Amino acid sequence: MAVQFDVEGLVRALRGRAVGVIATPAGWLPGLGALNDVLVPRATVKAMLALEHGLRGDLQDGALFDTYTDERTGIPVYSFYGGTGHTFPRAVFNDLDVIVFHAQDVSNRAYTYQQTLAATLIAAAETGTDVIVLDRPAPLAYLGNRGPLWTQFFPEPIPVIHGFTLGELGRWLVRHRNLPVCYDVLPVQGWNRAMTWRETGLPWIPPSPNLPFVDSAVCYSCTGIIQHTNLSEGRGCCKPFEYIGAPFVRSAALADRLNAAALPGLVWREVYFQPAFNKYQGQVCAGVHLMVQDERQVDPLRTQLTLLKALAEMHPDQFELKAGFGRWLEGGEWTVTRLLELSTEAFLAAAAPQAAAFTANLAPDLLYARVVL
C-alpha cells in the first residue's frame, strides 16, 4: 500500500482563510492529482507561487519567469525562484492568511526547494502569515546524513546529503532561528526513513526535467557536482546524471578505474552520447554510465570524490573546475591540484562528525521513525 497524504485534514485547516499555494508537478497526490488543482475548488486560493521549473514543470533549470495567470485555474502565479531581476512575491504574503507548501525534495543540499521553504518561513514571520507543509517522503533518507555542513541552498549549514523531509527541516529552522511564525506540518502517512522510494508505493514523478527516473535522486547525489566542471553531466541526453563525459575523456579507462574502486552499490560502463542542449551540444562525448545495483549501499560523497579524483589524475591538463564547485562540498576553494592531493578517507573522516552533530541537533524536530542516521 502506498504512503498517503492528509488532504482532508489540510482542507479543514484552510476553511475561511485566504490561501497561497506553493506546489510542484511532482507534488502529485494518488487518486487526486496535483495539489494546486485539488485545492482551487475546495479552498479560497488567492495566489500560486511557483518554484524553479515553474508551476507545471515546463521550465529548465535556472529559467526565470514573471507573474502570469494559470490558464487552467485562472489563479495568478508568482515566481518564487531567484529573487532578483524578476518578480518576487514578498508583498503577496500580506494578502494571505496561510501558505500551503507541497514540494518533492531529493535529499540533497544542492536542490533549491529547501531554500524556498526557508524563504517562505522567513517572509511569513515578517508578515504574520501562517505556513502549512503537506509533507512528502525524503527519497534518500535511508542513506542518512553525509558530508560536511555548508549553506548552499539553505540559510543555515546542512549536510551534503540529508535524511530529513522538508517539513522537518522547516521545524528545525523555526526553532533554530526562533522565527515568530505559526508553522504546522501534516506528516506523510505510513512513511519511515528506512524506505527506499520504490517501497513507498508512489510513482516517481520528475521533480525537475533532468531527474526523470526512479534512480535519478541517487545518481544526482553522486554526479551532480559534475555540472560545475567542464564535463557534461548528461543534460541534453536521455540519461542526465547517469551519463557524464566530455570529448577528451578516456571512457574505457575511466570505467575500469571506477569499477576497480568497488564503490558500493554501483557499476560503471563506458558510454558515448551527444547532448542535444547544454554543454557540448551536438558533440560526441566519451564518458561513463553510472548504474545503480543496490541503492541501499550507495555512498554518494565517496563516489563524488573518487570520480573527481580519477578525472583529475587521468586528465590533469584538460579537466577544469567551474564557479560554484566548492559549495557542493564544504564551501572552500577547490582546484584540480587540490583534487590531485586529496585524501578521500581523510575528507570523509573529517565530515562524519559534522553530519552526526547536525543529526543530534535536529532530533527534537523529527516526525518519523528514527532509524540510525
Coil, strand or helix at 78: strand
- Which sequence spans correspond to the domains of the chain? 7-205+357-365, 216-342
Does an H or E element contain 357, and which?
Answer: helix 344-362
From first to last of the 373 residues of the chain, give the pLDDT tens digit.
Answer: 689 999 999 999 999 999 999 988 888 899 999 898 999 999 999 999 887 766 776 665 666 777 788 888 899 988 876 655 455 577 889 999 999 999 999 999 999 889 989 999 999 999 999 999 999 999 999 999 999 999 999 999 999 999 999 999 999 999 999 999 999 999 999 999 999 999 999 999 998 889 999 999 999 999 999 999 999 999 999 999 999 999 999 999 999 999 999 999 999 999 999 999 999 999 999 999 999 999 999 999 999 999 999 999 999 999 999 999 999 999 999 999 999 999 999 999 999 999 999 999 999 999 998 654 4
Closest C-alpha to 111, from 291, 241, 201 = 241
When the pLDDT of each residue in the chain is averaged and rounded to a whole number, the result is 93
Instruction: Give yes or no on whether 7-205+357-365 and 216-342 have one common fold.
Output: no
C-alpha span between 172 and 114 (Å, rounded): 12
Percent of the chain with pLDDT over 70: 94
Residue 34's H or E segment, with its range, is strand 33-34
Q: In what order do the strands lie in the sheet with 266-273?
A: 243-246, 285-292, 266-273
Q: What percent of the chain has pLDDT over 90?
A: 82
13-64 tens-digit pLDDT: 999 999 999 988 888 899 999 898 999 999 999 999 887 766 776 665 666 7
- Distances in whole angstroms, Cα of residue 122 to Cα of each of 166, 174, 334: 15, 9, 32
Nearest to 128 by CA among 101, 155, 93: 93
Cα end-to-end distance, the chain, whole Å: 25
Residue spans of beta strands (DSSP E) within 181-252 = 183-186, 243-246
Residue 206 CA to residue 106 CA, distance in Å, equals: 10
Question: What residues contact residue 369 under an 8 Å CB cut-off, 6+ apart?
Answer: 192, 193, 194
**Which residues, other chains included, contact 368 with Cβ-Cβ below 8 Å and sequence gap of 6+?**
165, 168, 187, 191, 192, 193
- Reported as type and span, the H/E element at residue 44 is strand 44-50
In this predicted model, what pLDDT tens digit does every residue of 170-196 receive, in sequence order? 999 999 999 999 999 999 999 999 999
> Is there a contact between 68 and 77 (Cβ–Cβ < 8 Å)?
yes
Pairing mode of beta strands 18-23, 44-50:
parallel
Structural contact between residues 241 and 207, judged by C-beta atoms closer than 8 angstroms: no
pLDDT of residue 187: 98
Cβ(94)–Cβ(66) below 8 Å: no
CA angle 191, 136, 13 (to 5 degrees): 105
DSSP state of 187: P
User: What burial letters (b/e) apply to 233-271, b meaning 16+ CB within 10 Å?
Assistant: bbbbbebbbbbbbbeebebeebbebbeebebebbebebb
Cell numbers placing 218: 541517487
67 vs 231: CA distance, rounded Å: 35
One-letter identity of residue 293: Q
7-205+357-365: CATH number: 3.40.50.12170
What CATH number belongs to 216-342?
3.90.1150.140
Q: How far is CA 192 from CA 26, 199, 239, in A?
A: 19, 10, 29
Q: Which residues are bridge partners to 158 per DSSP? A: 150
Q: State the pLDDT at residue 209.
A: 86
- Cα–Cα distance between 54 and 46 in angstroms, integer? 18
